[in-house]
Structure 1
Amino acid sequence: MRPDRRYFLASLAATAALPRLGWADAGGPAFLAAAQDADGARALYGLSDRGEALFRIPLPARGHAATAHPTRPEAVAFARRPGTFALVIDCISGVVLARLTPPEGRQFNGHGTYSLDGAVLYTSELVAEGSAGRIGLWDARRGYARLGEFASNGIGPHDVKRLPGSDLLVVANGGIETDPADRTPLNLDTMRPNLSYLSPEGQVQEVVELAPDLAQNSIRHLALRSDGLVAFAMQWQGDAALAVPLLGLHRRGAAVRLCPPPEAEALAMRGYAGSIAFDGAGQQVAITSPRGGRIEVYEATGGFVRALARADVCGVGPAPGAAGFIVTDGQGLIARVGAEGLRPLTRAACAWDNHLIPVG
């Protein structure tokens, strides 16, 4: 055996014996969140379940959502839509491992998710002219080279998630065609938002559409329970005087269930649900409205529980333990929401952006 081959095999064995780094090595963050700091700089933060900042990684422009690799301490930070960057970040060193750019004439739409084994990153994208939806595929094992794409089965996809324990994708197709220059809506009278279930190869498995009188209710954001129950948050594009539900629930093979709150609460949301999350037990779901300054909590069966007022609130995620939520707002507050109401945890010198993304 040649010496160089012995050296190669020895090096390979030594590499295999090295401990693999995980999220605990990055401080064990519970959440990822984008923010604007007091000096105007943009960053992605890793936060503990009490809102403590565990790491801060600079971003080149405003961030929106992020997604965490299922095993490696890597996060992908997505630009505010319509965006043209997605940064793959080593959350231990802060090094940008890859900068993803959509194909010519495309835009990222703020969200993405990994395959069950973490080998593939799926990104929500649209064709700038016409807003046709695409799901981009990136090879997370080999430097995030682009593998291809497939149709999202709708116009204007926004959030995309993977059903727990499977590689089936759920896509929130918002249904809005926008002007590529200034995002002016172009098709409000003909909108057809949908919730699409897609195989990892892009085959349509199931589609959920709203009743015609709610066709202007753009399906935007998703929360998934461990048993496959999907909760989706909507943004109403129709008559502002109408009190419409902004939360829906769906399980594959069943009818969709919309969750109307009391009329006064529906109007207080101002037609806009910005984020959504199940609590840790999966028994309740919350939606937030930065426009209305409201947090609404529902039973996972659809019944309205309560609403709380908080100016410019948007990010929401599960609180540690079985019940309750963590929320963030544009004044830097991180708070816990539970049966006792809203309890501040900490305040940072930044403005938190739209989403609070769970890690793991």
Structure 2
Amino acid sequence: MTSRRGFLAGLLATGLAPQASWADLGCPAYLSAAKQPDGTYTFVGLSAQGTILFRCPLPDRGHAASAHPKRPEVVAFARRPGRFADVIDCRTGNQLARITPTKGHHFYGHGCFSHDGSQLFTTENEYETARGIIGVWDTTDNYRRIGSFASGGIGPHDVLLHQKVGGLVVANGGIQTHPDRGREKLNLDSMQPNLTYLDFDGTVIDQMQLSDDLHQNSIRHLSMHDNGTVGFAMQWQGEPGADVPIVGLHRPGTSPRLLAEDDPRVRNLNGYGGSIQFSADGSTIAVTSPRGGVVQVMDTASGLLQQEHHLADVCGLSTNETGFVASTGAGQLVALNKGKMTVMSKTDLRWDNHLIRLR
């Protein structure tokens, strides 16, 4: 009779052995980078109730992350102008690989996997030419870089797979930077943000650019609804105190819809959309502002601002079954359901900008 060890060895040899999955970790609901009390940085998996399930060390401050669609591993991106993205085995906390940008590039803090998880796409700055770049990495070969193509603009920040059109949608923020100048913005007078829809070979499928009077409204963060509508959050780079919209919706081939344009409460965002997220049913979309200390929830059909929640240093944003979940720099995880705000958990960690939901 074949032994269990021999049987498993045979499965491994034929490639039929079961691969590790997110279920092996108890199916964490959320992921976030954080700063620990001792000043070091970590990447954390959380349950649906906000309980910490695992921590993985990071060499420096993180920003956003992308979870592999099948394997229990995550790519945690450094904050712009970042020069590392760590691939982490979330079962052990071990670093599986460290991705570093090609010479003359830096990362922008975001990326996404292909549908089957075989490729990773990263937003990058080719800083001597100010070209936005999408890097392509082979996840089946230790995350080896296998190509790149233009992002369709300057300063690509967020990137998502587009469920309907296929390919990618990129938030080209329009802001030119150079690592020798830190986080200084070098072209505010001439910036031209856009949303660019790209095929996987870099072909431009569609592109949306804001009107001239909003050319300083940097398109930064994205959310995708199942019907193909893209929600985008902006960060105003013009004169402080201007009454400008911060949230928009777009579908390829159409003009953008800017939400709550005439509502004076939009000023409470202080010109800054930190994270954006559709509700589970797509009827509302929420945006956070750490500068304004507020979360606003808008109706996607009417464009009206429905709810406003005041929460100091709030930025991370995700969903639960009935509403939204937000994270703060004070270590809070907060549920926003049916107009009510409830603290789910409180830790000694300082949650960073984004709260990623595992679906």
If the TM-score is normalised by the length of the shorter chain, which range does it land in? over 0.9
- Match for 1:310: what amino acid? L
- Match for 2:309: what amino acid? L
Determine the C-alpha separation between the residues in 2 that align with 1:354 and 1:13. 40
TM-superposed deviation, 1:224: 0.3
Secondary structure in 1 aligned to 2:315? strand
Corresponding residue for residue 171 of structure 1: 170
Secondary structure in 2 aligned to 1:153? coil
Q: Is 1:311 aligned to residue 328 of structure 2?
A: no
TM-superposed deviation, 1:187: 1.0
Q: Is 1:265 aligned to residue 271 of structure 2?
A: no
Q: Deviations over 1:279-309 (max 9, x none)?
A: 1222211000000001010112222111111
Asked if structure 1 preserves the Cα contact closer than 8 Å seen for 2:307 and 2:339, the reply is no
Secondary structure in 2 aligned to 1:265? helix
TM-superposed deviation, 1:11: 3.6
Asked if structure 2 preserves the Cα contact closer than 8 Å seen for 1:244 and 1:260, the reply is no
Corresponding residue for residue 120 of structure 2: 121
TM-superposed deviation, 1:17: 3.7
Q: Deviations over 1:252-290 (max 9, x none)?
A: 222210112554322211100100111122221100000
Secondary structure in 2 aligned to 1:141? helix
Corresponding residue for residue 39 of structure 2: 40
Corresponding residue for residue 3 of structure 2: none
1:16–1:226: structure 2 CA closer, same or farther, 3 Å change rule? same
Corresponding residue for residue 296 of structure 1: 296
TM-superposed deviation, 1:13: 5.6
Corresponding residue for residue 102 of structure 1: 101
Q: How does 1:275-294 map to 2 (within 5 A)?
A: 275-294=275-294
1:306–1:261: structure 2 CA closer, same or farther, 3 Å change rule? farther
The alignment yields a C-alpha RMSD, in angstroms, of 1.8
Secondary structure in 1 aligned to 2:266? helix
Corresponding residue for residue 134 of structure 1: 133
- Match for 1:288: what amino acid? T
Determine the C-alpha separation between the residues in 1 that align with 2:60 and 2:204. 34
Q: How does 1:89-238 map to 2 (within 5 A)?
A: 89-164=88-163, 167-181=166-180, 182-238=182-238
| Matched residue count | 352
Secondary structure in 2 aligned to 1:98? strand
Unaligned runs of 5+ in 1: 1-6
Determine the C-alpha separation between the residues in 2 that align with 1:131 and 1:354. 25
Asked if structure 2 preserves the Cα contact closer than 8 Å seen for 1:130 and 1:177, the reply is no
TM-score (norm 2): 0.94
Determine the C-alpha separation between the residues in 2 that align with 1:223 and 1:126. 22
Determine the C-alpha separation between the residues in 2 that align with 1:266 and 1:243. 8
Asked if structure 2 preserves the Cα contact closer than 8 Å seen for 1:116 and 1:166, the reply is no
Determine the C-alpha separation between the residues in 2 that align with 1:13 and 1:80. 38
- Match for 1:317: what amino acid? S
Determine the C-alpha separation between the residues in 1 that align with 2:251 and 2:120. 24
TM-score (norm 1): 0.94
TM-superposed deviation, 1:210: 0.3
Determine the C-alpha separation between the residues in 2 that align with 1:38 and 1:353. 13
Secondary structure in 2 aligned to 1:282? coil
**Matched-pair identity in %:** 48
Determine the C-alpha separation between the residues in 2 that align with 1:169 and 1:268. 32
Determine the C-alpha separation between the residues in 2 that align with 1:151 and 1:39. 40
Secondary structure in 2 aligned to 1:190? coil
Determine the C-alpha separation between the residues in 2 that align with 1:130 and 1:61. 27
TM-superposed deviation, 1:214: 0.4
TM-superposed deviation, 1:130: 4.2
Asked if structure 2 preserves the Cα contact closer than 8 Å seen for 1:294 and 1:310, the reply is yes
Q: Deviations over 1:153-178 (max 9, x none)?
A: 10000000101367410000000112
1:70–1:165: structure 2 CA closer, same or farther, 3 Å change rule? farther
Q: Deviations over 1:42-89 (max 9, x none)?
A: 000011121111110000000000000111111000001110000111
- Match for 2:221: what amino acid? H
TM-superposed deviation, 1:23: 0.6
Asked if structure 2 preserves the Cα contact closer than 8 Å seen for 1:130 and 1:178, the reply is no
- Match for 1:116: what amino acid? H
1:356–1:129: structure 2 CA closer, same or farther, 3 Å change rule? same
Determine the C-alpha separation between the residues in 2 that align with 1:27 and 1:72. 13
Determine the C-alpha separation between the residues in 1 that align with 2:165 and 2:20. 24
Q: Deviations over 1:11-36 (max 9, x none)?
A: 45655342221111122111110000
Determine the C-alpha separation between the residues in 2 that align with 1:177 and 1:307. 33
